[in-house]
Amino acid sequence: MESPEYKMRLRSLHIVLILSFIGSGYDFISYMLTGLVHPLMKSTYYSGSLTLPSEMTVYFEQILETPRSFFFCGAILYCLSFIGVLFMWRLRKSGFHLYTLAQLLVLLITVLFLGRGALSLGSVMFTLLFVVYYYIALRNLGVFNKATEQQENSDNNSDNLTE
């Protein structure tokens, strides 16, 4: 039987995981759609058939000058992040590692494709805040214990048998 403290910790983890579900899912859709319509946006804008308010012109031109591959790389990484969140929901240690790797690679591709100036301190801080929170929350729930690791391995083996 689970203790009330365990249930409270699990509930708080689930609340933060829901935020990550929303964020990763939204970012996946945004990056994928932008990557897909990027050539169309570019041709429409430069043909003069798209008029934008002057406040949006600089921002829109920055998006158009961003390589299309940046958006597809971002979509893949946010999909991996979403999968990592799903695994953490199931209290799998591998979810934490997948989520953390995907989030750090999102920061890295931003710097590689757009330069250091495109990386905001807020993005770095939120990434680190969520990674640290997930580590502490999962550790407090016993996910990183050896017994839990053995249970996860046996769960993976039983999943493979049912496929």
pLDDT tens by residue, 24-41: 999 999 999 999 999 998
Which tops the pLDDT comparison, 160 or 125? 125
Q: How many domains does the chain have?
A: 1
Instruction: Let me know: does 137 contact 17? Beta carbons within 8 Å.
Output: no
Range of the domain at 137: 4-162
Q: What is the pLDDT of residues 76-129, one digit of tens each?
A: 999 999 999 999 999 999 999 999 999 999 999 999 999 998 899 999 999 999
> How would residue 153 be classed by pLDDT, with cut points 50, 70 and 90?
low
16-25 residues labelled b (16+ CB within 10 A) or e (exposed): bbeebbebbe
Distances (CA, A) of 160 to 88, 103, 163: 19, 28, 5
